[in-house]
Chain A
Amino acid sequence: MQNKDIKRLSLFLLFAPFALWIILLIILPHIGMVILSLKEKVAPRVYEYSFANYLEFLNEPIYWNTLLRTGSMSLLVTALALLIGFPIAYYIAKIAGPRSRGGLFLLCLIPLWVSDLIRAFGWILLLRETGVISNFLQWTGLVGAPVEFLYNDVAVIIGLTYTVILFMIVPLVSTLDGMDNSMIEAGYNLGGNGFTVLRRIIVPYAMPGIVAGCIVTFMLTAGSYLTPILLGGKNSSWFTEQIYNQFITRFNWEGGAAFGMLLLLFTSLVIWLGLKLSGQTLANTVAKS
């Protein structure tokens, strides 16, 4: 009996920090945001509940265009990160010798510990009109005058892919690492060619890692703020920038909260669809890595 009480008490004590964290910093703030987003200012200091903030979003094409643009560019970045990152992860996990494997993996992790700001700054120094690449092209004589590579969508996509690709590679390496090489050999022995083995054996095995990498990559891209603004210039029209403008520049907290909810709903919807289509769950993908 006493033993049972102790168990109960310790379970309660362990549950308390978890509950405080999740309730005070995640659940209540989000409820507060939903309530705020449903308020409409009808007179100074007088508010009414309505869907006005959401209707404004629908009536103003620039807002939902920005959200769609953010979503589609984030999907493009996610796909690019997967295409570029998968061969790298496969190389690290399966082809590199045991000695170079650890080193390559570490090399992959180094940019992870460098702030977004510094990475974007590095790209600015490379891409701008007076930057390294422009100078190099002039030096080789390929172009006659300085070229501006910054402040366009390509620069934003390069910068974003660069920023998030490590979050794709890390879960991929850890799933591929757990795969038995004999499975690949069996595929070849049964007469499969390289493409069949990749499609029928390697990709299905790596699916949890692929999905985990895609979810994290997509969320980070859609929620990113610095990279699109610094590399895309003033007109990058990224949705987080709209949220910032509503909150800080226009001091319209109700509108900003509605935009925040829309971003959250939109990204959750995309991830839910992705999980459904790939037959995975949040617990066996993101939670595992």
Chain B
Amino acid sequence: MTTRSPALLVLEDGRTFRGESYGARGETFGEAVFATGMTGYQETLTDPSYHKQVVVQTAPHIGNTGVNDDDPESGRIWVSGYVVRDPARRASSWRSRRGLEEELEAQGVVGICEVDTRALTRHLRERGAMRVGVSTTETDPQALLRRVLDSPPMHGADLAGDVSTSAAYVVPAQGQRRFRVAALDLGIKTMTPRRMAERGIEVHVLPASSTIDDVLAVEPDGLFYSNGPGDPETADGPVRVLQQALERRLPYFGICFGNQVFGRALGFGTYKLDYGHRGINQPVQDRVTGKVEVTAHNHGFAVDAPLDRPTGTPYGRAEVSHVCLNDDVVEGLTLTGDDGSLRGFSVQYHPEAAAGPHDAAYLFDRFVALLKQAQRGDRDGS
């Protein structure tokens, strides 16, 4: 078993927690956020949306099922730091290949354990997400605090480029190919193209910096924007590309960051939530059917759109389709044409789950229906 050394956690408002080292030794900075899922730490760690964030796990036992090679949501761990209470001393799962601590060390992720994670979470809930430093080398909280205050804030951070693929790649459709979709990788998770591929979609994953020409070059039936880290205010490139696609009536589906970019493309603003939604138990209501889905969330920003009325846009009629029942945050948008037909939609949460419940998986079917309708429209039109 690893011998631990003392570790220090300092928030930008000066609140300090002492614990023990977990994973790699060293020092790390980021935005402190808490995630409330009781399962799925492996997916959380590898979710690119957590780039530049220090994740506090509210579930006390972390690492119980070890690490396997099937569950990561990307090629590496993205969190910039990891805060847990009771790390597992040994893993137990028939799928486990190695221990989580081993993996954190191997990937150089600095963590801290034996922390009162509930106290830390309550602090973040009351004061909002903020910058944090975690160190196994520094013992003086004041010194660490100075470096925390020097670290870059999340507000205004443009991070999509950091996490996006550098070269385009294709995820082939499972079975017969029915559609081709261009998917802009703003921090895409492995499960997302897989969910599309299962439905006969050939997914062309493109770098975040792609232009409308790059998109059109794959001759897509539709356009998809993924989740991803950072402030949507900075995503001017992707917003412009999306607007160009909407002008061309390319069917659109967006998830998470893709919802925020959709909002901006339609003319809405975005804003930073105090402490965000990060968990796999969030109740979201479909405002048309009234049905409630239990959904996976990971977002610190949200779209500022009116709940009580539709909004006219150059691309059609925009409406808030889903809201979070906990706090009425906008969780989904739809864009319809004059005839009421769907042109594009997006959700702030994660229908691909991983980790999380599968309640919202139907949204991929809705995307397929949208693609089919557009295909038929094209045929009818030509």
Partners in one complex: no
B residues in contact (CB < 8 Å) with A:
none
